[in-house]
Amino acid sequence: MADTVVGATPDPHASGDDPSRRDFIHIAAGAAAVGAAGALIWPLVDQMNPAGDTLALASIEFDLGKVEPGQQVVVKWRGKPLFVRNRTPEQIAAAVKDDNASDLRDPATDESRHKPGKAQWLVLVGTCTHLGCVPTVGGGDYGGWFCPCHGSHYDTSGRIRKGPAPKNLLVPDYAFLSDTKIKVG
Amino acid sequence: MSGHSTYEPTTGIERWLDTRLPIVRFAHDTALSFPTPKNLNYWYTFGGILALMLGIQLVTGIVLAMHYVPHVDYAFASVERIMRDVNCGWLIRYMHANGASMFFLAVYIHMIRGLYYGSYKAPREVLWILGCLIYLAMMATAFIGYVLPWGQMSFHGAVVITNLFGALPIIGTPITTWLWGGFAVDNPTLNRFFSLHYLLPFVIAGLVILHIWALHVPGNNNPTGVNVKSENDTVPFHPYYTVKDGFAIGVFLLLYASFVFYNPNVLGHADNYIPANPLVTPAHIVPEWYFLPFYAILRAVPDKLGGVLLMFGAIATLFVLPWLDTSKVRSMRYRPTARLYLFIFVLAALVLGYCGGQLPDDPVIGAPSGLMLLDADINSMVWLSRVATLYYFAYFLIILPVLGLTETPLPVPESISEPVLSHPATTPVGAAASPEKRG
């Protein structure tokens, strides 16, 4: 029955009539809907990123006088442990000796990992570069740190030597305010 | 499978409701009269057990949320308060914590049942994939839930697992920061984990509904793997399987109760009764037992990204299993060679679970051999994990595809009833087999 009507009384609203105009409306409406959905989803995703107060975490100052030679002090910085280690001359010598060792996975000289003329002070972010555990000081095959979680060995310069971790322990941004005081962050 | 409805409303109110919302008819057709193969054994009762465990976890979890405080300063203390001061709080928490373990125990048996009887094969691929999604959601829920008490294992477990995503190139760091809501696992992380831990069980419940829907389209597989041919092959779900499932649930609850009442902490880790300390990682960090096989796979690879990819790959492989197994025969009852390889697979999974709980450099037997292969002693957990990991993947990616084409399966019966009725013990001399009397 319907096919007898087609052509007899042209219906301006029939589907398929003037396809380009119809398509334009479909595409425009679809694009608007996608745009609106995207605009709505982004705040819902972005709210999980660090909030303003989290980002505004202050830098910390630390008095090196608390750390005896051979010792390490762990302080909390941005929710993570920060290692401040006062290295003995033997430990520094061991680190420098291995500067060109073939098993350095993330090659770096010991020189590049401390401030000039402050070879005894090693300041590192104390999270294993594998999966974020806190390595224990003095352990492992190289006398630096040993991560108990998955067995990564770091040397006395905090360089990865053995185990699954891909990178050296991270050196944060810090500066000496005086001979005995540093500012981290 | 889903034939016409046999529901007949008997009372006036049921007839009134049936024409408006046929919900009683739906329940009747789904849970009472549903035609079910008559040869299902006790391995098939774990679906019902799992539904019950989900219910228990939901109820106990909602109750715990009434007392728990999702804040780094109060979370640990609020859990201790639940244990000491809240009326029956200890019982509800032990039910919830051990319930998670029981849930995983049941799901692993349920999955191995599916592997053995070929329940993932056509036309049940979607059913199997939905099951894999449920398993994935269960793992996410369990991991997040374990973080909430904010003990040492909670905290450092959260650190390790979220750092897994950091292994991804380029997007790794933004993703971990996004997950944490900061630069480390901290209060924002705990808050969102609590929110998601409340949400995900309902996602699981939704997936379970789809899973049961997908089950009821082709109907149950069965131990012969042969399709249902006639009504003689089936019995109504009630009373036959309500009773069988009910008995299995009773036995399973005995095991569950023995943990809850007699050894509620044996599956946990003592370190989680120490409040979280971001500055000290426990000497021996291990996940809950149900994650140990995947943890062993992660540690078997000496490369960070490789380990992470292989671990997720171990789960991803399950999703494509229906297309990896090339055999036309469903049940391994008629595939003796495949059955042997499946037993070795289960053994490999158990070995991985064992390795995951040990330190990587620990010797497997006796003292270290002193013989180094690549980066580790040949007599070490790492090498045992590697062998087992290799088998895990070989089973899915090599053995099942090749075996389906090369093996010679045993003769498969014509129907579910046929092997029973043709068995000499059920056919006395002179008596004609009369299937119609044996429904």
Chain A neighbors of B282, CB-CB under 8 A: 148
B295, B356 Cβ separation under 8 angstroms? yes
Q: Give the pLDDT of residue A55.
A: 79
Would residue A150 show up in a list of annotated catalytic residues for this protein? Answer: yes
Q: Which residues of A touch B (CB under 8 A)?
A: 45, 48-51, 54, 57, 74, 76, 78-81, 126-127, 130-136, 147-151, 162-166
**Per-residue pLDDT tens for A36-47?**
999 999 989 999
| Partner residue facing B279 (CB), from A48, A76, A148 | A76
ipTM here: 0.73
Q: How far is A165 from chain B (nearest CA, A)?
A: 7
| Cβ of residue B418 closer than 8 Å to a chain A Cβ | no
Task: In whole angstroms, give the CA distance from residue B91 to residue B93.
Answer: 6
Residues whose CB falls within 8 Å of the CB of residue B336, separated by 6 or more in sequence, listed in order:
B410
**Per-residue pLDDT tens for B68-118?**
999 999 999 999 999 999 999 999 999 999 999 999 999 999 999 999 999
A122, A69 Cβ separation under 8 angstroms? no
**Per-residue pLDDT tens for B147-194?**
999 999 999 999 988 988 888 888 988 999 999 998 899 999 999 999
Dihedral sign, Cα of residue A111, residue A116, residue A121, residue A124? negative
Chain-chain contact of A149 with B359 (C-beta, under 8 angstroms): no
**Per-residue pLDDT tens for B358-409?**
887 788 887 777 778 777 788 888 899 999 999 999 999 999 999 999 999 9
Chain-chain contact of B179 with A164 (C-beta, under 8 angstroms): no
Secondary structure of residue A86 in the 3-state scheme: strand
Assign residue B118 a region (left: φ > 0; alpha: ψ between -120 and 50; beta: otherwise).
Answer: left
| Cβ of residue B185 closer than 8 Å to a chain A Cβ | yes
Query: pLDDT at residue B435 above 70?
Result: no
Task: In whole angstroms, give the CA distance from residue A168 to residue A127.
Answer: 10
Chain-chain contact of B280 with A50 (C-beta, under 8 angstroms): no
Q: Are strands A181-184 and A174-178 parallel, antiparallel or unpaired?
A: antiparallel
Query: pLDDT at residue B439 above 60?
Result: no
Query: What is the overall mean pLDDT for chain B?
Result: 92
Which residue is closest to B177 within chain A, CA to CA?
A49
Q: What is the CA radius of gyration of chain A?
A: 31
Instruction: Tell which B residues from 105 to 164 touch A, by Cβ distance under 8 Å.
Output: 156, 159-160, 162-164
Where chain A has pLDDT below 70, the residues are: 1-17, 58
In this prediction, residues B295-315 reach a mean pLDDT of 90
Q: Which residue has the tokens 């300041």?
A: A123
